């Protein structure tokens, strides 16, 4: 790359977002190879990389294919056309898939077998196991399988998105004199894909057989009197992005309910087939699903590696998993404390998953039971209909509180759960709204209004993560409690914007998308550049999931040229190229991939002698700045600010075990050094968890 370039609009200065996302998935797959991880956790990482790739095709590749089909789409700062992106994606994705199966077969299976965990092929079954499999087939599978022969009266069946299917070739004549050549067998989704062989039939402590192997072994029993000449598993991935024109529907909930059904049968974008499937059979499937040769992925193993995710939970081997941990309770919030009194004394901060999510639920429970609480308002993006948060809000509404919940129905892949949640809340008497037409509500906010004497006091919880107890054990996030009146008024104004029409109200402390966040971030970057130009110390440290918004990147490039030291911790997509002489010499980018999913967004600006630190629900992406409702809130208490800087940023900048460093060519390299290993997540677990 010509690093003498100075035009910040030059496409050579930017990494393509889709290729960057694939690079993140490659880093996840690398965790499956890392012998420093427990063996069953390595298997989980393999499954996560497979699941990530599924979603990548369902959303990102599907969108690019639509752009090519309609000759539309706006090019990003890298100026790659949709067709060129698809070509490059295909090259990388085929490499990734081949590597996934190599990791399963050659890297993980041998050590798993040494530990008594084996995935048996049909050729490895002994007589007793084969008999058990046959009984299992007749008892569990035969009654629910519906083979379909392809002929004029039996057209090709509709194939569900990501479902397991078999293409079967036949010879012979059936009872009606038909010479069926091809048949389809669809495996119902209710059937487990990995079956544990009973101990009495196993030669090792944990032996498994794939559903596909059982069907393959007994597929002839589905076609009595016919000869099966071939049986090949396949899976089609479809476009799963929902399209609902918010402005043209009267009821978003009912429109989404109708669209969810169609998601299962969207346009085909990828076909996975067994590695041994003959070319003529692949051509038949290609024609049926209207896919090109580049869309075919041959799999040297089960076509859905994600289904192996169930295996670690089926095996009681703590020594092969990450050590169990119990999130601690902040000492300021012992069990049974009056939360309102605690928040009045000091602003409070919780660092998940190292510290427990339960105080958030307990605050809501106290609010629901407190006769002095008059209003509870909350945004819900992902939580689950059976979560304690949802149950508590239902109880509060039934207790007569004024409960208003902003439910984001279009939280991708959680739409169905959120529809169920919205229905339950409405039935309990809560006011449920779906945000603002054309904007996703991604902000994480709770507002509790409590009568205290002659005044109403506002208590607020703001977070970088979702109100989801399960992900609070898996994602790193910060939660913030305060009764600061200015913050409370800002949050109240945002809720008013979400529930009622009106002009954007001026906020005093919070930054909000789509109104002030983008311009404020750019202004703070430019302010730091001004300090550097004036010879004052200048530093930016920012942590986020993704960085792709071009004007923010340009501002960072300009700040680097002014001499600002910029350290970025970007878990996933990063379109910025660090380390370009004369352009981004002063920028370093690292990605942390570890036990927990790094999810918190933290923005620190040295600002000479008046440092500022913000926590946010928003990444530095165009959608977060311009197409979502997001909040970014300052941590003004010096003690809490230093804690976030230390735990959320500095610890990660010193990580040399789980960190990957991005170079100017868009490649990531492990941050291994000869010094003492430092694992940020492990250090925080040791320090904060019980």
Structural element, H or E, at residue 90: helix 82-102
Q: How many C-beta neighbours within 10 Å does residue 499 have?
A: 15
What pLDDT is recorded for position 418? 65
Q: Does position 106 have pLDDT exceeding 90, yes or no?
A: yes
Helix (H, G, I), strand (E, B) or coil at 17: helix
Looking at residue 2, its pLDDT comes to: 42
pLDDT above 50: residue 259: no
Q: Is the pLDDT of residue 220 over 60?
A: yes
Q: In this predicted structure, what is the pLDDT of residue 3?
A: 42
Q: Is the pLDDT of residue 245 over 60?
A: no
Q: How many CA atoms lie within 13 A of 504 on its CB side?
A: 11
Six-digit token string for 303: 């076509």
The token pair at 280 is: 């003529």
**pLDDT exceeds 50 at position 315:** yes
Write out pLDDT tens, residues 629-663. Answer: 999 999 999 999 999 999 999 999 999 999 999 99
Q: How far is CA 308 from the centre of its chain?
A: 18
C-alpha to C-alpha distance for 198 and 132, rounded to whole angstroms: 9
Top pLDDT among 321 and 75 is at 321
Reported as a pLDDT band with limits 50, 70 and 90, residue 257 is very low
Q: What CA dihedral angle connects 248, 252, 255 and 259, to 10 degrees?
A: 110
Q: State the CB neighbour count (10 A cutoff) for residue 353.
A: 25
Q: In angstroms, how far is CA 186 from the centroid of its own chain?
A: 28
Assess whether pLDDT exceeds 50 at residue 256: no
pLDDT at 263: 44
Report d(CA 52, CA 382) in Å as an integer: 18
229-244 average pLDDT score: 83
**pLDDT, average across residues 413-438:** 76
Ordered by where they begin, the domains of the chain are: 12-320 (3.30.1840.10), 339-503 (3.30.870.10), 512-688 (3.30.870.10)
Average pLDDT of the chain, as a whole number: 91
Q: Judge whether residue 83 has pLDDT over 90.
A: yes
How far is 354 from 360, CA to CA, in rounded Å? 14
In this predicted model, which residue has the larger pLDDT, 335 or 376? 376
**What tokens were used for 312?**
């670690």
Task: Choose between 150 and 305: higher pLDDT.
Answer: 305
pTM of the model: 0.92
Give dist(CA 408, CA 433) in Å, integer. 8
> Does 258 have pLDDT greater than 50?
no
pLDDT tens string 521-544: 999 999 999 999 999 999 999 999
Average pLDDT over residues 419-427: 78
Question: What distance in Å separates the CA atoms of residue 395 and residue 170, rounded to the nearest whole number?
Answer: 59
Q: Is 555 exposed, middle or buried (0-12, 13-18, 19+ CB in 10 A)?
A: buried
Closest by CA to 174, choosing from 134, 217, 223, 243, is 223
pLDDT of 568 higher than 70: yes
Helix (H, G, I), strand (E, B) or coil at 214: helix
Query: Which active-site residues does the annotation give?
Result: 442
Which pLDDT belongs to residue 416? 66
**Which residues, 6+ apart, have CB-to-CB distance to 52 below 8 Å?**
24, 25, 28
Local confidence band at 175 (pLDDT 50, 70, 90 cut-offs): low
Q: In whole angstroms, give the CA distance from residue 98 to residue 93.
A: 9
DSSP 515-583: TTHHHHHHHHHHHHHHHHHTT---EEEEEES-B--HHHHHHHHHHHHHT-EEEEEESS-B-B-TT-TTT
Residue 173 has pLDDT above 90, yes or no: no
Place of tokens 């035969």: 142
For the record, the structure tokens of 456 come out as: 């109403």
For the chain, percent of residues with pLDDT exceeding 90: 77
Q: CB of 481 within 8 A of CB of 504?
A: no
Q: Percentage of the chain with pLDDT > 70?
A: 92
CA angle in degrees (0–180, nearest 5) for 469-475-479: 70
Report d(CA 121, CA 125) in Å as an integer.
Answer: 7
Distance CA 603, CA 527 (A): 14
């Amino acid at each position: 790359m010509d690093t003498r370039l100075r035009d910040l609009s030059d496409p050579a200065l930017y990494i393509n977002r889709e290729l960057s996302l694939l690079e993140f998935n490659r880093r996840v797959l690398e965790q499956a190879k890392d012998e420093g991880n427990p063996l069953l956790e390595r298997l989980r990482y393999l499954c996560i990389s497979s699941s990530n790739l599924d979603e990548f095709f369902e959303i990102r590749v599907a969108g690019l294919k639509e752009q090519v089909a309609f000759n539309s789409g706006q090019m990003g700062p890298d100026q790659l056309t949709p067709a060129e992106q698809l070509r490059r994606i295909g090259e990388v994705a085929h490499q990734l898939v081949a590597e996934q199966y190599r990791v399963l077969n050659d890297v993980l299976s041998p050590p798993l077998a040494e530990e008594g965990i084996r995935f048996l092929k049909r050729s490895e079954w002994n007589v007793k196991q084969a008999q058990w499999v046959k009984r299992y087939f007749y008892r569990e599978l035969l009654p629910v399988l519906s083979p379909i022969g392809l002929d004029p009266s039996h057209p090709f069946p509709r194939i569900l998105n990501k479902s397991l299917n078999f293409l079967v070739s036949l010879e012979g004549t059936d009872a009606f004199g038909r010479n069926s050549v091809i048949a389809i067998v669809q495996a119902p989704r209710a059937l487990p894909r990995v079956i544990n062989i009973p101990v009495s039939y196993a030669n090792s402590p944990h032996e498994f057989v794939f559903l596909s192997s059982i069907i393959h072994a007994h597929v002839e029993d589905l076609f009595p009197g016919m000869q099966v000449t071939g049986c090949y598993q396949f899976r089609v991935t479809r476009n799963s992005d929902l399209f609902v024109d918010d402005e043209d529907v009267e009821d978003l909930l009912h429109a989404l309910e109708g669209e969810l059904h169609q998601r299962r049968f969207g346009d085909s974008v990828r076909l996975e087939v067994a590695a041994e499937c003959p070319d003529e059979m692949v051509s038949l499937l290609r024609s049926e699903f209207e896919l090109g040769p580049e869309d075919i992925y041959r799999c040297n193993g089960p076509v859905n590696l994600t289904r192996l995710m169930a295996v670690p939970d089926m095996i009681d081997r703590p020594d092969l998993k990450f050590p169990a941990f119990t999130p601690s309770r902040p000492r300021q919030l012992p069990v049974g404390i009056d939360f309102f009194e605690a928040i009045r004394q000091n602003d409070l901060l919780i660092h998940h998953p190292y510290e427990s999510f339960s105080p958030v639920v307990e605050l809501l429970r106290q609010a629901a039971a407190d006769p002095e609480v008059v209003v509870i308002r909350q945004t819900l993006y992902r939580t689950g209909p059976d979560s304690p948060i949802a149950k508590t809000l239902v109880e509060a509404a039934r207790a007569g509180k004024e409960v208003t919940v902003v439910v984001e129905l279009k939280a991708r892949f959680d739409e169905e759960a959120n529809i169920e949640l919205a229905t339950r809340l409405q039935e309990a008497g809560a006011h449920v709204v779906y945000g603002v037409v054309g904007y996703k509500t991604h902000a994480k906010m709770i507002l509790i209004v409590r009568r205290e004497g002659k005044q109403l006091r506002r208590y607020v919880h703001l977070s970088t993560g979702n109100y989801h107890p399960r992900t609070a054990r898996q994602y790193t996030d910060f939660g913030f409690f305060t009764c600061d009146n200015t913050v409370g008024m800002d949050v109240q104004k945002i809720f008013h914007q979400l529930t009622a029409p009106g002009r954007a109200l001026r906020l005093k402390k919070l930054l909000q998308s789509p109104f002030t966040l983008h311009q404020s971030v750019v202004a703070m970057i430019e302010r730091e550049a001004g300090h550097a130009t004036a010879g004052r110390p200048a530093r930016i440290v920012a942590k986020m999931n993704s960085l792709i918004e071009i004007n923010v990147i340009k501002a960072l490039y300009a700040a680097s040229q002014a001499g600002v030291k910029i350290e970025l911790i970007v878990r996933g997509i990063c379109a910025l190229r660090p380390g370009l002489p004369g352009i981004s010499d002063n920028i370093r980018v690292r990605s942390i991939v570890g036990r927990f999913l790094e999810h918190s967004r933290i923005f620190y600006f040295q600002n000479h002698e008046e440092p500022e630190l913000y926590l946010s629900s928003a990444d530095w992406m165009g959608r977060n700045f311009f197409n979502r409702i997001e909040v970014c809130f300052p941590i003004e208490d010096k003690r809490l600010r230093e804690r976030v800087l230390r735990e959320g940023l500095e610890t990660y900048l010193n990580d040399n075990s789980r960190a990957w460093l991005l170079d100017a060519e868009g490649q990531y390299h492990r941050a291994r050094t000869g010094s003492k290993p430092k694992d940020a997540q492990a250090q925080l677990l040791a320090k904060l968890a019980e």
